[in-house]
């Protein structure tokens, strides 16, 4: 006869436990993680949770503007990635002791205006930021996903109002980006509106202990 212990269902591993078991300073695909779980884990670990949905961005400037707005960064990003790096490193460090960061970049655009090189540059900025905070013994984990190009029919339906997508969600359809490269669709996922809440905006008063 099997004991009750044998019949027990293995406990579900929380996102908090996953984060604790991960490298403390890393940038990787979001893959199986849910945004809400990452936010809950960040809150449980007393880390800042930073979220940006880039699904509506098409160009480099739009990507930078949307990150700046949704992160509420303490300085103007401008038109280059170097300014983005500067805004998520030194000003925050000078504001006082930081407990850690969980960053999510959802639906990074994949099109001719924001091509593979631009995407790699964006991700590299966050890798550099992870290294910066790692040198200061502060954890910085960044998770990202890529978007896919919408068809002309879908864009037309959106303009006509016949197709309404939930805020912050995108369809992870199999396919090829407009730039012609195969996208890793396992990095795409839908998120609930709940996950769009930001618990840790970048602002001067927030970062001051």
For the domain that residue 61 is a member of, what is the CATH number?
A: 3.30.370.10
pLDDT band at residue 149 using 50, 70 and 90 as cut-offs: low
Greatest distance between any 2 Cα atoms in the chain: 69
Q: Establish if 16 belongs to a structural domain.
A: no
Q: What is the pLDDT of residues 11-56, one digit of tens each?
A: 455 667 878 788 999 999 998 899 999 999 999 999 999 999 999 9
Q: By residue range, what is the domain housing residue 125?
A: 24-207
- pLDDT of 193 higher than 50: no
Q: Establish if 9 belongs to a structural domain.
A: no
pLDDT of residue 119: 96
- pLDDT of 175 higher than 60: no
Q: Establish if 7 belongs to a structural domain.
A: no
Q: 140-146 and 25-29: which strand pairing?
A: parallel
Averaged pLDDT of the chain: 74
How far apart are the C-alpha atoms of 70 and 196, rounded to whole Å?
Answer: 10
Q: How many domains does the chain have?
A: 1
Q: What is the pLDDT of residues 51-80, one digit of tens each?
A: 999 999 999 999 999 999 999 887 777 778
- Exposure string of 107-142, with b = 16+ CB inside 10 Å and e = fewer, is bbbbbeebbeebbeebbebbbbbbebbeeeebbbbb
Q: Establish if 198 belongs to a structural domain.
A: yes
Q: Establish if 123 belongs to a structural domain.
A: yes
Q: Establish if 194 belongs to a structural domain.
A: yes
Q: 25-29 and 48-53: which strand pairing?
A: unpaired
pTM (global) more than 0.75: no
């Amino acid at each position: 006869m099997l004991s009750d212990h044998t019949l027990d269902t293995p406990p579900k591993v929380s996102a908090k436990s996953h984060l604790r078991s991960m490298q403390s300073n890393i940038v990787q695909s979001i893959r199986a993680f849910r945004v809400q779980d990452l936010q809950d884990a960040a809150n449980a670990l007393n880390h800042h949770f930073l979220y940006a949905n880039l699904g509506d961005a098409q160009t480099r400037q739009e990507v930078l503007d949307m990150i700046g707005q949704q992160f509420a960064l303490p300085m103007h990003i401008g038109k280059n990635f170097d300014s983005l790096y500067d805004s998520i490193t030194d000003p925050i460090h000078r504001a006082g002791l930081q407990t850690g960061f969980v960053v999510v970049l959802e639906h990074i655009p994949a099109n001719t205006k924001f091509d593979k090189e631009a995407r790699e540059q964006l991700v590299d900025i966050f890798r550099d930021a992870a290294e910066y905070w790692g040198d200061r013994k502060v954890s910085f984990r960044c998770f990202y996903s890529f978007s896919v190009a919408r068809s002309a029919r879908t864009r037309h339906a959106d303009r006509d109002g016949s197709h309404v997508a939930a805020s912050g969600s995108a369809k992870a359809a199999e396919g090829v980006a407009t730039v012609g490269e195969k996208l890793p669709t396992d990095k795409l996922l839908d998120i609930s509106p709940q996950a769009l809440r930001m618990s840790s905006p970048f602002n001067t008063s927030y970062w001051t202990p």
